[in-house]
Amino acid sequence: MKRVLAMASGGGHFVQLLRLRPAWAGQQVSYATVHAASAVDVAPAPLFTFRDVSRADWWRLPLTALDIAIILLRVRPQIVITTGALPGLVALALARPFGVRTLWVDSIANSEVLSGSGRLARKLATEVVTQWPALAEDGVAHWGSVL
How far is the C-alpha of 74 from the C-alpha of 80, rounded, in Å? 13
Contact 65, 90 (CB under 8 A): yes
56 binds other proteins (CB under 8 A): yes
143 binds other proteins (CB under 8 A): yes
Binding mask 115-134 for other proteins (x = CB under 8 A): xx---------xx----x--
Q: Which of residues 66-85 bind other proteins (CB under 8 A)?
A: 79, 81
Residue 11 CB, nearest distance to other proteins (Å)?
4
DSSP string for residues in 7-35: E--STHHHHHHHTTGGGGTTSEEEEEES-
Quick one: 15 or 69, whose CB is closer to other proteins? 15
3-state secondary structure of 134: helix
Amino acid present at 25 = A
How far is the C-alpha of 96 from the C-alpha of 12, rounded, in Å? 25
Quick one: 69 or 145, whose CB is closer to other proteins? 145
For 14, 36, 52, 70, 137, the CA distances from 9, given in Å and listed in that order, are 6, 12, 7, 16, 25
Q: Which of residues 27-46 bind other proteins (CB under 8 A)?
A: 27, 35, 37-38, 40-41
Quick one: 110 or 136, whose CB is closer to other proteins? 110
How far is the C-alpha of 115 from the C-alpha of 109, rounded, in Å? 9
Among 93, 108, 120, 135, binds other proteins (CB under 8 A): 108
Binding site residues, other proteins, CB under 8 A:
2, 4, 9-16, 18-24, 27, 35, 37-38, 40-41, 52, 54-56, 79, 81, 101, 103, 105, 107-112, 115-116, 126-127, 132, 143-147
